[in-house]
């Protein structure tokens, strides 16, 4: 495709997405209520179930984690300024939902903005993305670094071992490189979580709180990290150097359409329409499906089903020569 054709296509993308880049306060409030209230009710039911059987608690953790994922999507939309019309409303709800998902709002908002501004850019990797080396970088790295990379990219580490350290531990510490606003958000979130811990200590007890919260956080975090992974690590994904990188092309070719069953689509807040989200971060989650469905120009996005997405686990390195993600077998 030549440059004039590419620019014309991008104009079509902009026009198609423009009507959906607005929030609807009533819809946002309904979604907020239908996510937080069931989550709190199920959370309380999990505490009650501890007196009966922990197997029942684990069973209840599944829908509870689903609602926590929806809360994270609301938090995510607030970070993009798309959930409510005003910055203040997004910040207030972002802080509340951020506390529920153990994530400091302003710090995450800053890092996630960098992710959107650099996704698919080989020269600006490292913030808010899955660590991805080029084939050449892996081949020329010292052995210990190659082993470390293999460890980090191992599915057990990515989707099973990392959610708790990431959300429960790493976000509790201030990054010295962050600005004042980001540092304060970490402090305020930590103080809010400390208040919750004290409340739990004097009511249900810390043991009950941790048994419930850690279980739900781990399950929601594992599924969430898997979804983020497959939406940026798939066959045909877009990666290029700074000089050739294009934001809109990165959105359409560097983010997949994860076609989920309706119930999973609902719990994940339509984030499977990730190409639409990257193209227009101001589109609230409840308009993503409509934007995709009624604009055939977006139907060319790389589509993944849950079964097809499993093969994405074998993709480990970016081969600049063939312009595709490859597995370790390509090293032979």
Q: Is the residue at 315 inside a domain?
A: no
What is d(CA 188, CA 194) in angstroms, rounded to the nearest whole number?
A: 10
Q: Is the pLDDT of residue 4 over 70?
A: no
User: pLDDT (tens digit, 9 = 90+) per residue, 48-81?
Assistant: 999 999 999 999 999 999 999 999 999 999 999 9
Q: Is the residue at 326 inside a domain?
A: no
Residue linked to tokens 């970490």 = 186
Q: Is the pLDDT of residue 1 over 60?
A: no
The band of 5, judged by pLDDT with boundaries at 50, 70 and 90, is low
Q: Is the residue at 148 inside a domain?
A: no
Predicted local distance difference test score (pLDDT) of residue 331: 84
Q: What is the DSSP letter of 231?
A: T
Q: Is the residue at 320 inside a domain?
A: no
**Range of the structural domain that residue 209 is part of:** 3-129+155-309
The string of DSSP codes covering 138-175 is HHHS-HHHHHHHHHHT-HHIIIIISHHIIIIIGGGS--
Q: Count of domains in the chain? A: 1
User: pLDDT (tens digit, 9 = 90+) per residue, 204-257?
Assistant: 999 999 999 999 999 999 999 999 999 999 998 999 999 999 999 999 999 999
Region 168-175: mean pLDDT is 94
Q: Is the residue at 203 inside a domain?
A: yes
Predicted local distance difference test score (pLDDT) of residue 143: 96
User: pLDDT (tens digit, 9 = 90+) per residue, 178-189?
Assistant: 999 999 999 999
The string of DSSP codes covering 312-329 is GGG--EEETTTTEEE-GG
Among the residue ranges 2-16, 157-171, 238-252, the one predicted with the least confidence is: 2-16
Q: Is the residue at 144 inside a domain?
A: no
Residue linked to tokens 């055939």 = 296
The string of DSSP codes covering 249-267 is HHHHHHS-EE---HHHHHH
Q: What is the mean pLDDT of the chain?
A: 95
For residue 290, how far is the Cα from the chain centroid? 20
pTM > 0.75: yes or no: yes
User: pLDDT (tens digit, 9 = 90+) per residue, 299-311?
Assistant: 999 999 999 999 9
The band of 2, judged by pLDDT with boundaries at 50, 70 and 90, is very low
Q: Is the residue at 328 inside a domain?
A: no
Region 143-167: mean pLDDT is 95
Q: What is the CA radius of gyration of the chain?
A: 20
Buried b (16+ CB within 10 A) or exposed e, 24-34: eeeebeebbee
Q: Which residues contact 191 (CB under 8 A, 6 or more apart)?
A: none
For residue 251, which of 154, 75, 122, 120 has the smallest C-alpha distance? 120
What is d(CA 258, CA 244) in angstroms, rounded to the nearest whole number?
A: 26
User: pLDDT (tens digit, 9 = 90+) per residue, 13-34?
Assistant: 999 999 999 999 999 999 999 9
Predicted local distance difference test score (pLDDT) of residue 206: 96
Predicted local distance difference test score (pLDDT) of residue 10: 85
Instruction: Give alpha helix (H) positions in the chain.
Output: 3-17, 25-49, 54-79, 87-100, 105-118, 135-140, 143-152, 155-156, 163-164, 180-202, 206-230, 247-254, 262-267, 274-279, 285-293, 306-309
Q: Is the residue at 286 inside a domain?
A: yes
What is d(CA 260, CA 272) in angstroms, rounded to the nearest whole number?
A: 7
Percent of the chain at pLDDT > 70 equals 98
3-class SS of residue 304? strand
């Amino acid at each position: 495709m030549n440059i004039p054709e590419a620019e014309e296509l991008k104009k079509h993308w902009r026009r198609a997405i423009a009507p959906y880049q607005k929030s609807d306060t009533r819809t946002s409030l309904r979604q907020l209520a239908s996510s937080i209230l069931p989550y709190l009710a199920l959370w309380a039911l999990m505490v009650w179930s501890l007196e009966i059987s922990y197997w029942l608690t684990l069973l209840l953790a599944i829908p509870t984690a689903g609602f926590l994922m929806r809360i994270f999507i609301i938090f995510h939309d607030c970070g993009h300024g798309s959930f409510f019309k005003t910055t203040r409303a997004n910040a207030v709800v972002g802080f509340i939902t951020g506390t529920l998902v153990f994530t400091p709002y302003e710090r995450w908002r800053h890092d996630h903005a960098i992710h959107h501004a650099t996704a698919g850019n080989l020269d600006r990797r490292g913030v808010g993305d899955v660590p991805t080396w080029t084939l050449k970088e892996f081949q020329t790295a010292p052995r210990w670094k190659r082993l470390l990379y293999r460890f980090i990219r191992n599915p057990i580490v990515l989707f099973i071992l990392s959610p708790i350290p990431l959300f429960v531990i790493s976000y509790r510490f201030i990054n010295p490189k962050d600005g004042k606003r980001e540092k304060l958000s970490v402090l305020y979130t930590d103080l809010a979580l400390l208040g919750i811990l004290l409340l739990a200590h004097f009511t249900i007890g810390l043991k009950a709180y941790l048994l419930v919260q850690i279980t739900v956080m781990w399950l929601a975090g594992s599924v969430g990290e898997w979804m983020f992974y497959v939406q940026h690590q798939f066959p045909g994904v877009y990666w290029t150097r700074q000089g050739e990188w294009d934001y809109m092309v990165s959105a359409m070719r560097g983010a997949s359409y994860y076609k989920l069953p309706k119930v999973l689509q609902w719990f994940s807040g339509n984030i499977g329409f990730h190409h639409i989200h990257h193209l227009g971060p101001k589109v609230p989650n409840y308009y993503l499906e409509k934007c995709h469905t009624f604009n055939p120009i977006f139907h060319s996005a790389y589509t993944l089903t849950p079964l097809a997405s499993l093969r994405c686990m074998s993709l480990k390195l970016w081969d600049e020569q063939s312009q595709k993600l490859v597995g370790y077998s390509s090293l032979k």
